[in-house]
A and B are shown apart, each in its own frame.
Chain A
Amino acid sequence: MTKPKRTHPLGLFLHIANSIKEYWFLFILVFTLYNQPIWFALCWAGIILAMIIWPATRWATLSYRVTPTAIEVNSGVFVRHHEHIPYSRIQTVQRKQWFFLAPFKLEELYIETASHDDNKPEARLAAVPTTLADTIDGYRLGATATETADSADTKETGNSADTDTAPIPATTPVTAHYRINNRTLLKFAFTSTGFIPLLLILLAIYNKIPRSWTDALIDDATHLALIALIGGAIAVVAIAWVGAFLWTYIRYFHFDVALQGDQLKTAKGLFQRNTITAPLTRIQAIRVKQNVFRQWLHIQTVQVLLASKAASKDDDDDLVILPAVPQSQLYDVAPPFVGWLPDHTPDLSDLNVADRRQWYLIRNALLIVIAPVALASFFLPHWMWAFALILVIAFFQGRFAAHQTGGGLITPRMLALQTGHMWTKETYYLPVNMIQSVRLNQSVWMKRTGLMHLIVNVRHGNKNQAIELRYLKSEQAQRVYDWYLQTV
């Protein structure tokens, strides 16, 4: 048996950087306390403890060992943790390599299983040699291959391979490969909706600008006030949108996905290369997603829902396997990666919200916004036209949702569902053995009109993803429910 190893000293810097990210507010505290010497000193002591001593002890006490059957991670200062993760239980392996770690052949490694104890990965190793992940990958491919073979066999292959070199060289051929081209990536980044949260932050900052400044500005140029206002609004939107563009572009830079054996491997990122490996067999569902801007440019995003948090920085916490595929090519590009996806655009007209049922979705969208809008227009009467715009947006959102709702059985063991939430069309492909439960909701009024809501639950990250199709006809919803009960 090899002795447990420490991570590389550079890992210490990553630990420190992490602590700074977590306790940055202490610096602000220091500034507010500069005229109270005792508290000032105490605060500095706190900073030194939190940002130097604590990360250093964490680093010094963290060690790991790779054995043929499992990876062991020992950590903890006061309470010692001994984590023991068998290869066959690993959901995802995530490798993050900052550009400054590349020359040292180091990277950060996150290993996750399906247990949903807390939101932390089971193992986080800062700055370990890149060969480690290859070794683990080798063992994992071995583990899935020999899962049915007897245990004696596995032990034998393991004993010869106690060293750091990959025992089972990754000779498993790559069966499918896709790399995003720059033009599609530009389109993808261009249509990112990430600017909306950024916009809200900018607006909040705008509100913090002292009133006297803006008043002075308006006094100086009353006749220019409207132009200034509109110009300012456009500038704020432009800044938010450029920010979102760069953010998306840098994160998905040189996006690359490959299928090797039964492991799906995605790599992306400019400054930090982020590589995630996940087994195909652990995929809970597939989601094809398209916001309204991407609908105009005809590009779609394909994601896999996994039972792990590895992809928590991706869209909606789900692992993106194809960020942007031209709509017409989707069903040629995607099936080589996930064999059970259909090879042509499926017919989703079996479940739908057509005719006057559309009205219910429009009505609900309006009902959600009407009270806030009424309240806001009461207090700010001269902004009424802007609030009226919100009503119009809500009306079309309801219509959008109704139009996008769809679904049906693709094969006897796979259901497809499509929804239209928040101006985003989402198509889910759900194998029956991954659906955790199915639910029907019906109010008394819906009983009279013969309508039902259908809710299908699948696991996603450490949580539940409820896919809800509202205002289906009772018999449509009931058909899915019965199919589910009969096929499981």
Chain B
Amino acid sequence: MSSENHHLPDRIKLIWGISAVGSFIALLVLTGLIWLTYRYWDWPLWILSTFAAITIIEPIIEGSLIPYRYRFTRYQISAVAVEMQSGFIFKKRVAIPIARVQNVTLNAGPLLQWQKLTKVSIATASTNHGIEGLELDEAEALRDQIMRLAREARHDQA
């Protein structure tokens, strides 16, 4: 497996886009309910208008940040470690040696399954780290690599 810096797969942008639409719909439903309380229980108008504003603004921000989120999220898998990097305003970088990994969980919701992607979460004895989306075969290769290393290092410490 190569050890240079990877972006997440391209299709993740589509997924993020759909999930922004999803949060728009969820907020819309919520605002609808608030409208009912305004209409029938005389709740103050400002609650309704705040929710309406959030419903419009939140998906726009979420959607417009997708290119940045994509650009600044990277991962790197070498023979000894997994490294992840994310964020621009608050940049975070983490190194997880494969020898410390206790288990790898792949999980994919319907959207990710449809795009043949999967979320990867890597657990050490104390922390959890996640990659938002990887190609299915790449994720499986990572998992197998970690399993192989784990078998070699059976004299565990924890």
- A443: which B residues are within 8 A, CB to CB? 89-91
Which residue of B88, B90, B92, B127 is within 8 Å of A436 (Cβ)?
A: B127
- A442: which B residues are within 8 A, CB to CB? 90-91, 93
Which segment, of A9-17, A162-170, A198-206, A455-463, faces chain B? A455-463
- B83: which A residues are within 8 A, CB to CB? 485
A485 touches B93 (CB 8 A): no
Q: Determine how close the nearest CB of chain B comes to the CB of A320; give it in whole angstroms.
A: 21
B127 touches A485 (CB 8 A): no
Q: Determine how close the nearest CB of chain B comes to the CB of A313; give it in whole angstroms.
A: 21
Which segment, of B95-103, B107-115, B133-141, faces chain A? B95-103
A433-B157, A459-B158 in contact; A438/B94 too (CB < 8 A)? yes
B94 touches A307 (CB 8 A): no
A307-B158, A434-B157, A444-B88 in contact; A485/B100 too (CB < 8 A)? no
How many of chain A's residues have a CB under 8 angstroms from any CB in B? 28
- A433: which B residues are within 8 A, CB to CB? 99, 157
Instruction: Bits for A393-425, please: 1 = Cβ < 8 Å to B, else 0.
Output: 000000000000000000000000000000000
A282 touches B100 (CB 8 A): no
- A437: which B residues are within 8 A, CB to CB? 94-97, 100, 124, 127, 129
Secondary structure at the A interface, as helix, strand, loop or mixed, is strand
Q: Determine how close the nearest CB of chain A comes to the CB of B55; give it in whole angstroms.
A: 29
- B57: which A residues are within 8 A, CB to CB? none
Q: Does B81 make an interface contact (CB < 8 A)?
A: yes
A488-B81, A488-B99, A488-B100 in contact; A460/B90 too (CB < 8 A)? no
A-B pairs with beta carbons under 8 Å apart, 15 shown = A282-B157, A433-B157, A434-B157, A436-B125, A437-B96, A437-B100, A438-B94, A440-B92, A441-B93, A444-B88, A457-B124, A457-B126, A464-B127, A488-B81, A488-B99
In the assembled complex, the Cα of A114 lies from the Cα of B157 at a distance in Å of: 10
Q: Does B80 make an interface contact (CB < 8 A)?
A: yes
Q: Determine how close the nearest CB of chain A comes to the CB of B101; give it in whole angstroms.
A: 9
* Size bin of chain B's contact surface: 20 to 34
Other A-B pairs beyond A440-B93, A444-B88, A485-B95, 18, CB < 8 Å: A281-B157, A282-B158, A433-B99, A434-B157, A436-B125, A437-B97, A437-B127, A439-B92, A439-B93, A441-B90, A442-B91, A442-B93, A443-B91, A458-B126, A459-B125, A463-B126, A484-B95, A488-B97
B95 touches A438 (CB 8 A): yes
Closest to B94 in A: A439
- A465: which B residues are within 8 A, CB to CB? 126
Closest to B100 in A: A436
- A114: which B residues are within 8 A, CB to CB? 125, 158
Closest to B90 in A: A443
Instruction: Bits for A53-76, please: 1 = Cβ < 8 Å to B, else 0.
Output: 000000000000000000000000
In the assembled complex, the Cα of A281 lies from the Cα of B157 at a distance in Å of: 7
Q: Does A481 make an interface contact (CB < 8 A)?
A: yes
Residues of chain B whose beta carbon lies under 8 Å from any beta carbon of chain A: 80-81, 83, 88-97, 99-100, 124-127, 129, 157-158
Choose among B88, B99, B158 the residue with the greatest number of A CB atoms under 10 Å from its CB.
Answer: B158
In the assembled complex, the Cα of A442 lies from the Cα of B93 at a distance in Å of: 9
Q: Does A447 make an interface contact (CB < 8 A)?
A: yes
Closest to A442 in B: B91
Closest to A116 in B: B125
- B125: which A residues are within 8 A, CB to CB? 114, 307, 436, 459
In the assembled complex, the Cα of A444 lies from the Cα of B88 at a distance in Å of: 7
In the assembled complex, the Cα of A307 lies from the Cα of B97 at a distance in Å of: 19
In the assembled complex, the Cα of A437 lies from the Cα of B126 at a distance in Å of: 9
In the assembled complex, the Cα of A281 lies from the Cα of B90 at a distance in Å of: 37
Closest to B80 in A: A488
Closest to A464 in B: B126
- B124: which A residues are within 8 A, CB to CB? 436-437, 457
In the assembled complex, the Cα of A437 lies from the Cα of B96 at a distance in Å of: 5
Q: Determine how close the nearest CB of chain A comes to the CB of B93; give it in whole angstroms.
A: 5
Closest to A477 in B: B93
In the assembled complex, the Cα of A281 lies from the Cα of B156 at a distance in Å of: 10
Closest to A431 in B: B157
In the assembled complex, the Cα of A442 lies from the Cα of B91 at a distance in Å of: 5
In the assembled complex, the Cα of A447 lies from the Cα of B88 at a distance in Å of: 10
In the assembled complex, the Cα of A282 lies from the Cα of B95 at a distance in Å of: 23
Residues 4-52 of A contacting B (Cβ, < 8 Å): none
Q: Determine how close the nearest CB of chain B comes to the CB of A413; give it in whole angstroms.
A: 13
In the assembled complex, the Cα of A129 lies from the Cα of B89 at a distance in Å of: 61
- B93: which A residues are within 8 A, CB to CB? 439-442, 481
- B99: which A residues are within 8 A, CB to CB? 433, 488
- A438: which B residues are within 8 A, CB to CB? 94-95
